[in-house]
Amino acid sequence: MTVTLADVAARAQVSPATVSRVLNGNYPVAASTRERVLKAVDELDYVLNGPASSLAAATSDLVGILVNDIADPFFGIIASAIQSEIGGPGGRAGGERLAVVCNTGGSPERELTYLTLLQRQRAAAVVLTGGAVEEGPQAAAIAAKLRKLADAGTRVVLCGRPPAPDTRAIALTFDNRGGARQLTEHLIGLGHRRLGYIAGPEERTTTRHRLEGHREALAAAGVEEDPRWTVHGRYDRRSGYEATLELLRRDPTLTAVVAANDSVALGACAALRESGMRIPEDVSVAGFDDLPFSVDAVPSLTTVRLPLADAGARAGRIAMSREDPPPGGIATIRGELMVRGSSGVPRG
């Protein structure tokens, strides 16, 4: 059998209640008693029973983090930052929290399932990262679930995701539209007029916002846009590679390719290079996010830096109530245009 609170109590010659209080440190206990208890805990190698504790106290020390793809550094960086703030080892004492990182693969169904699982565990907080899917019956179901979680006392924070109205969820949103706009303005400023755009999956907010920003910039500069210049794909390198070949097929005269994110941009670079085009002499390329590897690409990638780690850390603190939520429960986090080697003056 495993050691229980009662065993410790017996050995320390106190009541179970006292042991519990020593362990939780939320009630005065005489120093001598505390010591005796701690000694017993140590000698018996006692480990608290988490489920029992959670049940009795009606709280849990689990914090859920939902990400689209844990293998993608975009989410890895955010998750890492959140985790470093929610306590756990390394955080300040007391709040030893366990982060539950859930891979949704971007699927709303799985997102919903994970939220239910977290609700079942009575998670202390839940942080949802990355864009949301805005259509389909699932979207409403997710909003309803978030509301329920909030009602049950789980703090819900959205990081890099648009606000979810009527859910009481705190939202730290990336200014994807503004960033994309700046980026395209930069390219237009260099003289580009024929810009291909590799967008992410259709129904995602991030995709839409970045695309809208791009188009705003074009419209504002009076640059015409051919619908064939936009291709949708996934947020990965492979997709960028394929989409670029497609763009080149559709219109070989493009002078710039704007990608939905850095991974896609890298794929685009590979495709361009294999097609015999130089970057940026023949075609300029731009990404988004400024992930760590982007600066290492050759040429280094012009992109929009998103303060992923900062945002994640802030989300983590808010989830732990260690920082006040932004006014109105919504904060917009801006990106910063990083002009680097992959963008230049168009040829000809």
Write the CB contacts of 151 (distance below 8 Å, at least 6 apart in sequence): none
Cβ at position 209, least distance to DNA in Å: 40
Q: Please identify, using beta-carbon distances, which residue of 28 and 328 lies nearer to DNA.
A: 28
By CB under 7 A, name the one of 35, 43, 52, 251 that touches DNA.
52
Among 10, 38, 44, 53, which residue sits at the site for DNA (rule: CB under 7 A)? Answer: 53
**Stretch 13-52: interaction string toward a copy of itself, x if CB under 8 A:** --------------------------------x-xxxxxx
Determine, following the binding rule CB under 7 A, whether residue 113 of this chain makes contact with DNA.
no
**Residue 269 touches which of DNA, a copy of itself, none (CB < 5 to 8 A by kind)?**
a copy of itself
Q: Interface with DNA includes 55 (CB under 7 A)?
A: yes
**Choice from 100, 143, 337, 339 touching a copy of itself (CB under 8 A):** 100
Reduce the secondary structure of the chain to three states and give it as a string: CCCCHHHHHHHHCCCHHHHHHHHHCCCCCCHHHHHHHHHHHHHHCCCCCHHHHHHHHCCCCEEEEEECCCCCHHHHHHHHHHHHHCCCCCCCCCCCCEEEEEECCCCHHHHHHHHHHHHHCCCCEEEEECCCECCCHHHHHHHHHHHHHHHCCCEEEEECCCCCCCCCCEEEEECHHHHHHHHHHHHHHHCCCCEEEEECCCCEHHHHHHHHHHHHHHHHCCCCCCHHHEEECCCCHHHHHHHHHHHHHHCCCCCEEEECCHHHHHHHHHHHHHCCCCCCCCCEEECCECCHHHHHCCCCCEEEECCHHHHHHHHHHHHCCCCCCCHHHEEEECCEEECCCCCCCCCC
User: Whole-number minimum distance, CB 47 to a copy of itself, in Å?
Assistant: 5
CB of 56: closest distance to DNA in angstroms?
3
| From candidates 7, 69, 203, 242, binder to a copy of itself by CB under 8 A | 69
3-state secondary structure of 64: strand
Residue 26 binds which entry of a copy of itself, DNA, none, CB below 5-8 Å type-dependent: DNA
**Binding of DNA at residue 152 (CB under 7 A)?**
no
- Letters for 296-315 (x = contact with a copy of itself by CB under 8 A, - = none) are xxx-----------------
Interface ranges with a copy of itself (CB under 8 A): 2, 45, 47-55, 60, 62, 69-73, 75-77, 79-80, 83-84, 88-90, 96, 98-105, 107, 109-110, 113-114, 116-122, 148, 152, 237, 266-267, 269-270, 273, 292-293, 295-298
Interface ranges with DNA (CB under 7 A): 1-2, 4-6, 13-18, 20-21, 23-24, 26-30, 32-33, 46, 48-49, 52-53, 55-58
